[in-house]
A and B are shown apart, each in its own frame.
Chain A
Amino acid sequence: NAGVTQTPKFQVLKTGQSMTLQCAQDMNHNSMYWYRQDPGMGLRLIYYSASEGTTDKGEVPNGYNVSRLNKREFSLRLESAAPSQTSVYFCASGSLAGITDTQYFGPGTRLTVL
């Protein structure tokens, strides 16, 4: 049982390049989330998917797109990377168990945009 997995672990891009961050969970969770974490800013929600086939914007969605491929997989795409997107990206999944719903995080992707 791997929990939440993310690929790649590290990535360096040049301004204007595109890439997709992959996330998969094997906990049969309904909801999945993408966060970014920057020094002094804390964790901020980019997009989330409450269930397969649905996606919604979070606090900082500009410059990103997402796809909920199936129940297990939720990808984050940067179409034209900018230096401001240099960050650590975390994927999380949650069971949507109402008031006791908790989110579990993947190991993260460290992205640098030059």
Chain B
Amino acid sequence: QKEVEQNSGPLSVPEGAIASLNCTYSDRGSQSFFWYRQYSGKSPELIMFIYSNGDKEDGRFTAQLNKASQYVSLLIRDSQPSDSATYLCAVKGAGSYQLTFGKGTKLSVIP
């Protein structure tokens, strides 16, 4: 059974701070890693994906991947109240069509 674990939160950070969201996965064969944002009552929205060890930056967002530790994280710099949402980590195995999702971390950015 492939598992993706996230701290459910809520994670509260002050406006302007860096929010750090973490995710661990059980399948060493996992190949691609995705971060989705989901506002309350809305559908998941893709933020970014990563498949190589190291950092990948996109605007205020940085995804970090460490395959040896089976760990992926998302950093949000200069957090804004509009970043308040649930963040879903998803993992895809090699040659697989399927995504396995974590249960999500709820982020609250306090003005």
B contact residues around A108 at 8 Å (CB): 42-43
Instruction: Return chain A residues, CB-CB under 8 Å to B61.
Output: none
Q: Are A41 and B103 in contact (CB under 8 A)?
A: yes
In the complex the two chains form, is B43's CB within 8 Å of A106's CB? yes
Q: What is the minimal beta-carbon distance from B79 to any residue of chain A, in angstroms?
A: 23
Q: Is the CB of B98 within 8 A of A48?
A: yes
CB neighbours of B44 from chain A (8 A): 43, 90, 105
B92 and A101 within 8 A (CB): yes
Interface residue total, chain A, C-beta cutoff 8 A: 24
A101 to B43, Cβ gap below 8 A?
Answer: no
In the complex, chain B residues whose CB is within 8 Å of the CB of A50: 97
Q: Which residues of B contact A48 (CB under 8 A)?
A: 97-98
**Would A107 and B43 count as touching, CB distance under 8 A?**
yes
Within 8 A of B (CB), among A91-106: 94, 96, 99-106
Nearest CB of chain A from residue B7's CB, rounded to whole Å: 13
Kindly list chain A residues whose C-beta atoms are within 8 Å of the C-beta of B46. Answer: 102-104
Q: Is the beta-carbon distance between B32 and A99 smaller than 8 angstroms?
A: yes
Q: Work out how many contacts link A and B, with CB atoms closer than 8 A.
A: 49
> For window 54-111 of chain B, which residues contact chain A by CB distance below 8 Å?
88, 90, 92, 97-99, 101-104
Q: A99-B31, A99-B32, A101-B32 are in contact. Are A45 and B103 (CB under 8 A)?
A: no
Once the chains bind, are A90 and B43 in contact (CB under 8 Å)? yes
- Residue-wise, chain A 51-87 has the 8 Å CB interface mask toward B (1 for contact) of 0000010100000000000000000000000000000
Contact A31 to B97, CB < 8 A, known contacts A42-B88, A42-B104 = yes
| Residues of B that sit less than 8 Å from A by CB | 31-32, 34, 36, 42-46, 49, 51, 88, 90, 92, 97-99, 101-104
A sample of 5 more A-B contacts (CB under 8 A), given A31-B97, A43-B101, is A44-B101, A48-B97, A99-B32, A104-B46, A108-B42
